[in-house]
Amino acid sequence: MVFRVRRSGVQGGQSLLSLRPVLRSALAQTNQTGYTGGVRGFKVKCMKQMAQGGGGATGGVSSVKISLRKTSLVDYPGKIASVLFFTGCNMRCPWCHNRELVLPEPTSARDADPEELVRLDQALAHIGKRRNVLGGVVLSGGEPSLYRDLPALIWRIKEMELAVKLDTNGMNPGMLEKLFQTKETAPDYIALDLKLAPLRYGEMALDVRMSARTLVSADSLRKSAELIRNSGIAHEYRTLALPTITEKDIAALAELTDDAPWYVRAFRPGNCLDPKWDDFEPSNARDAGALVDAIQALGKNGVSG
């Protein structure tokens, strides 16, 4: 479906006013899809059609495979949710447990098992059938903000009257800006990872082949945190009690936060991206508690969790 927008209305007997939310989101998408132009004769691809798999230039939501957790009681605060795990990440945190999602190449027979991944449109169909028992959908990964049809996907989930939570490492503020342009594409809840002091983010960078669009940098983290703080969207911060994190890291990260909950979780070695990290001792409640105390001492809303 292509709408040719004219000053006097939209072809096909539909009023421009009734289509305004669709067009607004589609326009927000234009940087991604490559469509350009002014108001007269402007062509936009209907977001709804893209979400249903007719993505054309963008591929649509049917063309990717994801990992689906059908039911979770812990990933979306206060809601029963399904979780979509996207493959690919623009970071390489050495402690990451999601190597099968992060690495482009299979690292074991299990990673290569195609049965573990499902097509996104199939996952959405499953979620649609269960929408009466679900309260929301969590978009996680990997790094879901790298999925370029994310605005259309969120649109489609919201059409099912389900809330959307986005988990992000904050390295793609450009996508956050796109999502926040309309309420139809804005997540209802965001969890932002705060890993180490911003200036230490280079320790988790992918190699130089990574595109500038998603460069791992302190600036990306600061920009994402600012966008989230000013978005009016409910959010939380998440930090792992890593063996290498210090109170200096917490103090530097605190500058990016507001009074939203800042959860500190224990680090557990095992299946880490860098096997050397499997030799670290797991952190315990006391380690995590010390970080929570440090957060609270800075006047922030530190929580064990």
Task: Provide the binding-site residues for ligand SF4, judged by CB under 6 A.
Answer: 89, 91-93, 96, 98, 102, 141-143, 169
Q: Based on CB atoms, which residue is closest to ligand SF4, 155 or 201?
A: 201
Nearest-approach distance from CB 189 to ligand SF4, in angstroms:
18
Contact between 302 and 294 under an 8 Å Cβ cutoff? The reply is yes
Q: Based on CB atoms, which residue is closest to ligand SF4, 155 or 262?
A: 262
Q: Based on CB atoms, which residue is closest to ligand SF4, 142 or 151?
A: 142
- Gap between the Cα atoms of 102 and 140, Å rounded: 12
Q: Based on CB atoms, which residue is closest to ligand SF4, 227 or 242?
A: 242
Nearest-approach distance from CB 214 to ligand SF4, in angstroms:
11
Q: Give the residue ranges of DSSP H helices in the chain.
A: 16-28, 30-33, 47-51, 99-102, 120-129, 150-159, 173-179, 218-229, 247-254, 285-297
Nearest-approach distance from CB 173 to ligand SF4, in angstroms:
15
Q: Based on CB atoms, which residue is closest to ligand SF4, 89 or 164?
A: 89
Nearest-approach distance from CB 95 to ligand SF4, in angstroms:
7
Coil, strand, or helix at residue 285?
A: helix
Nearest-approach distance from CB 90 to ligand SF4, in angstroms:
7
- Gap between the Cα atoms of 39 and 6, Å rounded: 7
Q: Based on CB atoms, which residue is closest to ligand SF4, 26 or 190?
A: 190
Nearest-approach distance from CB 195 to ligand SF4, in angstroms:
7
Q: Based on CB atoms, which residue is closest to ligand SF4, 102 or 152?
A: 102
Q: How are strands ordered across the β-sheet holding 136-141?
A: 118-119, 65-76, 79-86, 136-141, 163-168, 189-193, 234-241, 262-266, 302-304
Q: Based on CB atoms, which residue is closest to ligand SF4, 155 or 277?
A: 277
Eight-class DSSP state of 278: G
Tokens representing residue 36 in the block:
């350009």
Beta bridge partners of 200: none
Nearest-approach distance from CB 133 to ligand SF4, in angstroms:
28
Nearest-approach distance from CB 1 to ligand SF4, in angstroms:
35
Angle at alpha carbon of residue 81, lines to 80 and 87, rounded to 5°: 160
Sequence-distant (6+) residues with CB within 8 A of 9 are: 15, 16
Sequence-distant (6+) residues with CB within 8 A of 131 are: 160, 161, 162
Beta strands in the chain (DSSP E): 2-6, 9-10, 42-45, 65-76, 79-86, 118-119, 136-141, 163-168, 189-193, 234-241, 262-266, 302-304
